[in-house]
Amino acid sequence: HPFMPFVTEEIYHILPATEGSVMKASYPYDEDVYKAVRDPKAEEQMEFLFGLISGVRNIRSEMNIQPSMKIKVLANTSDEQEKLLIAENKSVIANLATLESLYFVDSDNLPTSAATSVTGNTTCFVSLEGVIDFDKEIKRLEKELEKNTKELMGIQKRLNNESFLDKAPDTVIAKVKAQHDELQEKQDKISANLTRIKDMQ
């Protein structure tokens, strides 16, 4: 339920000590059962794996890499437990992050033309050689930065206008401030990505 509502509803009515509709019933929960079956270590491991996959996906998004393009990733860690966890779930990571390959690398052979993400004690290096056109990506980011800068300056001008602050409703001012924060965050990300790519050349 709700994927097969007619089936689950019928089963619910057959169960003893049930009444009404399953749609209105409280979710079955027992604190003792929850404590008995909960596995904090498994939760911690899954959180690490999700974080690692999300980190690689974020790089893909930030670097404007096509979702369907398979990428090469190198992982560096001194944490043996994290290393084992990655090795045991290599195929899952590769599938969810759309990887061509995933290998471990020691600290003496870290790649240069790569974007990085850190999860726990593990650093993932996403190789960008042959994946993006550095000159083209720099131009794209510079253009995007210029556009964002103009929008940010426009918002800052409104927030520096005392007449606007005196006359505008609080809800409007709050909305403009939220826009400013959003644009500033975007500005920082674009600038960071631009610097990162320039440093790789």
What residue spans define the domains of the chain?
5-37, 40-127, 134-200
Find the helix packing angle between 134-159 and 170-200, rounded to 10°. Answer: 160
Residue 35, pLDDT score = 86
Residue 96, pLDDT score = 97
* H or E stretch at 134: helix 134-159
Residue 72, pLDDT score = 96
pLDDT band at 36 (very low <50, low <70, confident <90, very high): confident
Long-range Cβ contact pairs of 146-149 (< 8 A, separation 24 or more): 148/183, 148/186, 148/187, 148/190, 149/187
Strands (DSSP E) found in the chain = 71-77, 99-104, 114-119, 122-127
Q: What is the pLDDT of residues 47-68, one digit of tens each?
A: 999 999 999 999 999 888 998 9
- Domain 40-127 is found in CATH 3.30.2320: yes
Q: Global pTM?
A: 0.70
Q: Which residues pair with 115 in a beta bridge?
A: 126
Reduced to 3 states, what is the DSSP secondary structure of residue 7? helix
Q: Average pLDDT in the 139-150 region?
A: 94
Q: Which residues pair with 103 in a beta bridge?
A: 74
Reduced to 3 states, what is the DSSP secondary structure of residue 138? helix
Q: Which amino acid is at 87?
A: A
Residue 1, pLDDT score = 55
Q: Average pLDDT in the 93-112 region?
A: 94
